[in-house]
Structure 1
Amino acid sequence: SAIFMGRKGSDKEKIRNFICERFEYDLSETVAQIREYYRSDPTCQGSVPQAIIAFLESDDYEDAVRKAVSLGGDSDTIACITGGIAEAFYGGVPPTIAEKALGLLDERLRGVVEEFAERHPLGVE
């Protein structure tokens, strides 16, 4: 829902309110508060709200992912969720980050990413 809403131009408060109401997630904490106690938790309640909060507090794509990673615990999962939302909301991954990441993929995986991006461009209805 957050990715869809981000792609459709919803603001962060609208995204927060919808997620809280629809999924009953508590999004009232801050990244700083979560950082004090967070440990790896493989459940949805133990990773999805934290990922959304990292996005909600962010200023841009990179800031969102850095905040997510800074939580520790299951940071790769949290950063993936946060990054997906941030990409949709901020209009993509910054070119320098995208180029570096694509350069780490083998040719087959790079092709999958490029094909997906062609089929589902950001900012297109």
Structure 2
Amino acid sequence: MNQIKIYIAGKYTGLPHDEAYTKFALTKMQLMIAGFDEQNIVNPMQLGIAPETDWHEAMHICMSKLRECKAIYIQSDWRDSFGARKEIKLAATLQLPMYWEELGDMSLIAELIATGV
């Protein structure tokens, strides 16, 4: 089945790299358990962006990857991240479906997967 791509948004800046990596990896794993194929999950921590990369350059890369997606999954710490808030704003502009960790929307993911493209 051809699935849509989903982007994971959440706080990274200000967290220890290992903690952020683990947090995003856990969300990716949850999306896979919910039914997403690994190649259809865009995890910003796995885009090859070095931790020392300039924030603006990193955001440019992330935003371009978000534009390739058809949905966004937002981790509950999004309010603490200027970058995640920018990603949410772009997702709203692109009219992407938004799924919120804090609202328990992981349970709605099966419906998203069923729609495909």
> TM tier, shorter chain?
0.3 to 0.5
The structure whose residues are more often helix, as a share, is 1
Based on CA coordinates, which of the two structures has the bigger radius of gyration? 1
Give the TM-score taking structure 2 as reference length: 0.34
Q: Which has the higher contact order (CA 8 A, sep 6+)?
A: 2
State the TM-score, normalizing by the size of structure 1: 0.32
